[in-house]
Amino acid sequence: MDDTCVTCAEVLNWVAYGACRHKDVYCTCVARSRFISHDRCCSICKTPSNVVFVTKDLGEYTKRIGDFSVLPPDVEEGRVGNYWYHEGTQSFFDDSDHYKMIKAMCELSCSVCDGIDKFRRKEKFKDIEELKGHLFHKHKLFIIQFYGESELYTHMSTEHHTCRMCLRQDAGQYEYYKNFRDFENHFHTYHFLCEDEECLAKKFVVFLSEHELKVNYPTDENMHTQRSYV
């Protein structure tokens, strides 16, 4: 069988699917998305699913859940009738060994603390946010967040700064700056920043050339038509 996961491109041995019944994603990818990112949507059609069903991939013979409403609601971790339920990912399993594997994968621990004492886990964390807090407050460490291409563009466009002057000169040149200090240093180095107190307060008024700066600085009316507000 050569079916592969649309997310990680690994061979589909086990799949997880919701009511939309798209069985194209490896169950580990679904578990990570639901447990770490709290993303309950199908990777194919973006339909949200309160629960997913995990089973072995057998191609056209893969076990199907025709009606997800038959799955018991308000269940707790562990054995539920013929299935096993994992609360962290809201997933039902038809195989106990695979349930135990995903459960172990989702058990959060601190690698720093575990490295100090390999035989006894120091801390237990109920979710990723609690682990982040532990890493920062106890070890001054951060968890790095990874983005897909579209998510990265959205993050960079909303959380960081890019220079419109550079984009005017080269539409494909996207460079981002993490804070206003780095942004201001860029303007000082590559452009002509208006040092007027009022303009600095607007963060920032910038010109492409020194000539533009000198010509347009005396009159407010001209400045509004020629300069770039960033």
Residue ranges per structural domain of the chain: 14-105, 150-229
Asked whether residue 167 carries a pLDDT value surpassing 80, the answer given is no
Q: What is the pTM of this model?
A: 0.53
Whether the CB-CB separation of 183 and 230 falls below 8 Å is answered with yes
Q: What whole-number distance in Å separates Cα of residue 48 and Cα of residue 20?
A: 9
Identify the band that residue 182 occupies on the pLDDT scale cut at 50, 70 and 90.
confident
Count the helices and strands in the chain (H runs, E runs): 10, 10
The answer on pLDDT for 45 being more than 70 is yes
Residue 123 has pLDDT above 90, yes or no: no
CA distances from residue 173 to 49, 92, 164, 188, 191 in whole angstroms, order as listed: 39, 47, 10, 18, 15
Residue with the two structure tokens 């997913």: 52
R_g (Cα) of the chain, nearest Å: 26
Between 105 and 126, whose confidence is greater?
A: 105
Chain-centre distance for alpha carbon 8: 15
SS3 content of the chain, % helix, strand, coil (to 5): 40, 15, 45
Residue 54's pLDDT band (cuts 50, 70, 90): very high
Determine the length of the chain.
230
Checking if the pLDDT of 229 tops 50, the result is: no
pLDDT of 75 > 60? The answer is yes
Return the SS3 of 192.
strand
CA-nearest of 42, 51, 6 to 24 is 6
In Å, how far are 20, 183, 186, 192, 204 from 180, measured between CA atoms? 45, 5, 10, 16, 9
- pLDDT given for residue 227 in this prediction: 45
